[in-house]
Amino acid sequence: AATAFDVPALEAALQVALLMGPAVEVFEGVLAPALVAMGHQWATGISGVGEEHLATQAIFTAARELVRLVQPGPHSPRLLLACVDGETHEVPIYGVALHAARRGWSATLLGARTPPPALEAALHHMAPAAVGLSVTVSVQDVDPEALFARYGAACGRTPWIVGGASAERYREAIEAAGGRVGLAGEDLSEFLSRARPRAR
């Protein structure tokens, strides 16, 4: 549908996809692979920029709707999610939001390219119980140690975890700044369990 610029057909297909099962499975089995496939088609010249942008926006709209639908109640702990400064790949934070919802956490997504001052401002106003950052590609044009030190300062005493394809590369800098590296669902589960505020 995207390659034919058929917006109604694309939206109808995505609405059907949203009903195919549990949110995490729909995201990991349908939406995320569709984004990867569309990116591959663009990179290999099968589709153009217009088709890629159309499909990407439609899929992200569906992912946002999926995240919205599974949010737990207003008294659930909040996880603030963002991509590190310079990072444009937002897909992972949608997956994390869905996994967190399954564990009783609400998620707020700040999106791509979130610099430390913007994260700090959001933390100040929202007071989340934890922060999750995503780094998919290598950090560019900045010293990673300095960058993650700034994220550590922005998070202060709020627990924070960094995931994504490049997270392991920066483990030393992240841990030196007080953060944690999470590379699998089990890491996220353990992190959220430890970060969950205790009942008073």
Task: Express each pLDDT in 84-117 by its tens digit.
Answer: 999 998 988 999 999 999 999 999 999 999 999 9
Overall fold of domain 7-69: 1.10.1240
The length of the chain is 200
Domain with CATH 3.40.50.280 in the chain: 78-195
**Where do we find the tokens 């153009």?**
48
pLDDT digits (tens, 9 = 90+) for 137-173: 999 889 999 999 999 999 999 999 999 999 999 999 9
| 30, pLDDT greater than 90 | no
Within 10 angstroms of residue 77's Cβ, the number of other Cβ atoms is: 17
Q: How far is CA 150 from CA 85, 136, 154, in A?
A: 11, 18, 6
Q: If we measure between CA atoms, which residue out of 141, 81, 86, 138 comes closest to residue 111?
A: 81
- Which segments of the chain belong to CATH 1.10.1240? 7-69
CATH class of 78-195: alpha beta
Supply the pLDDT for residue 7.
Answer: 67
Token pair, residue 151, equals 């994220």
Identify residue 168 by its one-letter amino acid code. E
pLDDT band at 199 (very low <50, low <70, confident <90, very high): low
Choice between 6 and 100, residue whose per-residue pLDDT is larger? 100
Start-to-end Cα distance in the chain:
52
